[in-house]
Structure 1
Amino acid sequence: MPRRPEGPPPPPVVARVRVRFAKRGRLRFMSHRDIARTFERALRRAAVPMAYSAGFSPHPRISWLGAAPTGAASEAEYVELALAEHCDPHALRLALDAALPSGLDVLACAPATAAPLADLVDASRWRLRLPAVALDELTSAVAALLARDRVEVERATKDGHRRFDVRQAVVSMVCRAENDTCAILDVVVRHTTPAVRPDDVLTALCVVAALRLPVPPEPLRLGQGRLLEDGTVADPLMPDRDDAGRLVGRLDA
């Protein structure tokens, strides 16, 4: 017979809570694995009653969603926690935020709904700060990309080099000037496989218009969620909005 761990089985999951957190400052250079380990330590320090997996090496039941690439800041990272006890989301947010290092900041907590978290997210909104890029140069490159039906780029993945279309993932692009020597690009992209990342969008702009980036860009994810009819992205912690974005209830996070 197969071996079984001694002692009683772990407590069952009685509640699930979804957490929105930010990745700011120098902590944007943390890998997703490091962030996951940091969260597990913070959950223990905050005495969050986590539900654990069974087996000889129990681990807290945590589900991550679409982590931002290493080096990218974000105001919209999401994780779902399975709990062995019911908790007040507001109290959990305060305790977890206090246990995490500055730069990993908990913005909101809400009870999970029946819909899987992944089903509430199909797009992201990014703001790309481009130092040493002139607005007219960026505007010309954006117009060239939007005029194309297809723009392929190549990226190294764990399965080797892959070519994929960036244009079909781009929903909208808006550019403006921060000052005379820095342009800003706001872009909404659909979540695809493989995922189209900010650096892929910039590579596509280089392909179609030879856009030069003298200084490394500064990507910031402003939101991720369901793409609405008006091109905006709905926060998945507010699932009380219908597909057109109309508010049909209220969820206190």
Structure 2
Amino acid sequence: MSRAQPEQQAPPVQKLRIQYAKRGRLRFTSHRDVSRAIERAVVRARIPMAYSSGFHPHPRISYAGASPTGAASEAEYVELGLAEALDPAGVGRELDAALPDGLDVVAVADSATSRGGSLSDLLTGSRWRIDLGSGEGLDEAVRAFLEAESIVVERMTKKGLRSFDCRAAVVSLRVADDGALDLLLEHAVPAVRPDDVLTGLREATGWTAPRQALLTRVAQGSLDRGTGELADPLAAR
């Protein structure tokens, strides 16, 4: 007996792109746990979601450019596919009220009126703030790092220990007036993270990084390497 074909679901009527923040203790939450929290919040907020086709339909929620566990962020992004058209601001308020403290909706935009391209295509760079607590010798270390053509570091990944050049992804790096590091990274494969840059600073220059460094993604968007600007992925066309 042939197996019955699954019902085909209608495509989304509307796609909403949502910028949200990951703050406080929630920075220690993994991306998997964050995605579960968002999916539960969508149900609690009674947002009419579109679903995928197949034997196991799931709500059309897509994520892009998630920050690593342990990092705070003011610029995380998710896209919701809706079964009916709604006011983006209203959806943002309902979702924000349903999310746990520390996951906060920052902005919402209709993809139909936002910049063209998929959400992942619009996230090609990130600006980070790295609070170190102590900046002794940091200016010299940054200068030496930027003068290097290549700095190879190692990091354990899901595919095992990998070596990669962390210098190539750094567009700019400077010490802010308050002693924090201001870092602009181009998204690369494999991804270079702010902690990789700290490792590169230590290994290439001998600078001793403090044990506790607070990583915060300040912005994320489409990177113009020439100007160092990040275009807002929610901006109007």
TM-score of the pair, normalised by structure 1: 0.88
Correspondent of 2:222 among 226, 232, 235: 226
The answer to whether residue 237 in structure 2 is matched with residue 237 in structure 1 is: no
The SS at the match of 2:68 is coil
The answer to whether residue 213 in structure 2 is matched with residue 217 in structure 1 is: yes
Correspondent of 1:122 among 121, 124, 144: 124
1:110 aligned residue? 109
Q: How far apart are 1:224 and its partner, in Å?
A: 0.8
The SS at the match of 2:132 is strand
Q: In structure 2, how many angstroms separate the alpha carbons of the residues matched to 1:78 and 1:20?
A: 5
Task: Say if 1:166 and 1:201, in contact at 8 Å, map to a contact too.
Answer: yes
Q: How far apart are 1:177 and its partner, in Å?
A: 4.6
1:96 aligned residue? 95
The code of the aligned residue for 2:125 comes to A
Aligned length: 232
Q: In structure 1, how many angstroms separate the alpha carbons of the residues matched to 2:24 and 2:228?
A: 28
Q: In structure 2, how many angstroms separate the alpha carbons of the residues matched to 1:150 and 1:238?
A: 35
Q: In structure 1, how many angstroms separate the alpha carbons of the residues matched to 2:104 and 2:216?
A: 15
Q: How far apart are 1:110 and its partner, in Å?
A: 0.3
Q: In structure 2, how many angstroms separate the alpha carbons of the residues matched to 1:235 and 1:200?
A: 25
Q: Deviations over 1:94-117 (max 9, x none)?
A: 110011011100000001144111
The answer to whether residue 142 in structure 2 is matched with residue 142 in structure 1 is: yes
The code of the aligned residue for 1:88 comes to D
The unaligned stretches of length 5 or more in structure 2 are none
Q: In structure 2, how many angstroms separate the alpha carbons of the residues matched to 1:59 and 1:111?
A: 21
Q: In structure 2, how many angstroms separate the alpha carbons of the residues matched to 1:92 and 1:233?
A: 26
Q: How far apart are 1:230 and its partner, in Å?
A: 1.7
The SS at the match of 1:71 is coil
Q: How far apart are 1:12 and its partner, in Å?
A: 2.8
Q: Percent identity?
A: 51
The answer to whether residue 181 in structure 2 is matched with residue 185 in structure 1 is: yes
The code of the aligned residue for 1:132 comes to S
The unaligned stretches of length 5 or more in structure 1 are 241-253
The answer to whether residue 22 in structure 2 is matched with residue 3 in structure 1 is: no
Q: In structure 2, how many angstroms separate the alpha carbons of the residues matched to 1:140 and 1:239?
A: 41
1:195 aligned residue? 191
The code of the aligned residue for 2:174 comes to V
1:248 aligned residue? none
Q: Deviations over 1:206-249 (max 9, x none)?
A: 01111212331000000111112321212111153xxxxxxxxx
Q: In structure 1, how many angstroms separate the alpha carbons of the residues matched to 2:205 and 2:236?
A: 40
Q: How far apart are 1:188 and its partner, in Å?
A: 0.2
Q: In structure 1, how many angstroms separate the alpha carbons of the residues matched to 2:76 and 2:119?
A: 12
The code of the aligned residue for 1:107 comes to V
The code of the aligned residue for 1:79 comes to V
The code of the aligned residue for 2:123 comes to V
TM-score of the pair, normalised by structure 2: 0.93
Q: In structure 2, how many angstroms separate the alpha carbons of the residues matched to 1:22 and 1:3?
A: 43
Alignment CA distance shift 1:156-1:60 (3 Å): same
